[in-house]
Structure 1
Amino acid sequence: MKQLGLLISLVLLTLGCETNTVYNEYTDIEDGKWYIKNAPSFTFEIKDASVPYNIYYNLRNSLSYGYYNLYLTRYLRDSSGRQLESRLDELILMDPKSGKPNGEGLGDLFDHKFLMKRNYRFPKPGKYTMEIRQYMRQDPLLNILSVGIAVEKAVPAN
Structure 2
Amino acid sequence: MRLVLAAVIFIFLVSCDDSRVYEENLDITNKIWIADSAKTFQFNIKDADKRYNLYFNLRNTVAYPYENIYVTYTLRDTLDNQLKKELVNFNLFDPKTGEPFGSGLGDVFDHQLPILNNYKFDHTGPYVFHLQQYMRMDSLPEIISAGLRVEQAINE
Q: TM-score, normalised by structure 1?
A: 0.93
1:21-100 to 2 correspondences below 5 Å = 21-100=20-99
Aligned counterparts of 1:141 and 1:18: Cα–Cα separation in 2: 32
What amino acid does structure 2 have at the position aligned with 1:133? Q
Query: After the TM superposition, which parts of structure 1 deviate over 2 Å for at least 4 consecutive aligned residues?
Result: 4-14
- Count how many residue pairs are aligned between Structure 1 and Structure 2: 156
Aligned counterparts of 2:67 and 2:7: Cα–Cα separation in 1: 27
| Aligned twin of 2:17 | 18
Q: Percent identity?
A: 42
Give the superposition deviation at 1:14: 2.4
Give the superposition deviation at 1:137: 2.0
Distance 1:47 1:69, change over 3 A: same
Aligned counterparts of 2:134 and 2:37: Cα–Cα separation in 1: 11
Distance 1:10 1:27, change over 3 A: same
Give unpaired runs (5+ residues) of structure 1. none
Aligned counterparts of 2:45 and 2:102: Cα–Cα separation in 1: 28
Aligned counterparts of 1:5 and 1:97: Cα–Cα separation in 2: 39
Q: CA RMSD in A?
A: 1.6
Give the superposition deviation at 1:10: 4.4
Give unpaired runs (5+ residues) of structure 2. none
Give the superposition deviation at 1:156: 2.2
